[in-house]
Amino acid sequence: MPARPGQIVILNGAPRAGKSSIAAAIQESYDGPCMNLGVDAYVNAITPLRYRPGIGLRPGGERPDLEEAIPRFYAALYESIAAHGRLGLDVVADVGHHDAYSKPLHILADCARRLRGLPVLFVGVRCPIEIILQRRQLGQTGREGLYAVGTLDDPVPEPVLRWQREVHRPGIYDLEVDTSQHDPATCAAMIRQRLAECPAAPTAFERLAAMPSVTES
């Protein structure tokens, strides 16, 4: 077994907030292997088409037919993250947690419990909605048509507003970064600096693990 468990960094924020770019910058800054187990890989490479967007399901309770599977998908993802960490591999995962389904599922608390005993830094990735709308208008190669964009009649689409309202609830983090103020490399450096400091007790995930989960509701 490895001398130490791997460091786990969970990036949480709305689509186009800049999570994937920060994850890539973190990977580049590590000397050893840092595995990216985020939402893009899980949805696009693992989840069957008929269950997509899977864990990427946006707030609003739009697909109650998929919701039964969502807690299991998240559980499987976090168990995989835990397995990598226990084998001494560093992990970065970018996700968009929310509880705005057709009924509360309390998934985040369950995910936090699955990483119990492992070093986890939970990072809130924030970005003003005006910047997110600009990024959505620019598009992204390979993701054409995936993002709601503003129009003259609807400059701020309701799905974008829902993400902004819901993704940072309850807002318990070890660190928060703003991608409108800092580029990905700087955000990655801030995260590395936070990891070098003595962690606060209890950590964000330790506090979240004490909250109700879907299995207890």
**This prediction's pTM:** 0.90
Domain count, the chain: 1
pLDDT in tens, 160-179: 999 999 999 999 999 999 99
Tell me if 193 is assigned to some domain.
yes
Tell me the CATH number at 202: 3.40.50.300
Q: What is the pLDDT along the chain (217 residues), one digit of tens a residue?
A: 678 999 999 999 999 999 999 999 999 998 899 999 999 999 999 999 999 999 999 999 999 999 999 999 999 999 999 999 999 999 999 999 999 999 999 999 999 999 999 999 999 999 999 999 988 777 555 444 455 555 445 567 899 999 999 999 999 999 999 999 999 999 999 999 999 997 677 899 999 999 876 544 4
Question: At residue 196, what is the residue type?
Answer: A
Tell me if 45 is assigned to some domain.
yes
Tell me if 152 is assigned to some domain.
no
Residue 88: which of 57, 118, 125, 65 has the closest Cα? Answer: 118
79: its two tokens: 């168990």
Tell me if 16 is assigned to some domain.
yes
Tell me if 138 is assigned to some domain.
no
DSSP string, 65-95: HHHTTHHHHHHHHHHHHHHHHHTT-EEEEEE
Tell me if 137 is assigned to some domain.
no
Q: Which domain holds residue 180?
A: 8-128+168-209
Tell me if 159 is assigned to some domain.
no
Tell me if 134 is assigned to some domain.
no
Computed on alpha carbons and rounded to an integer, the radius of gyration of the chain in Å comes to 17
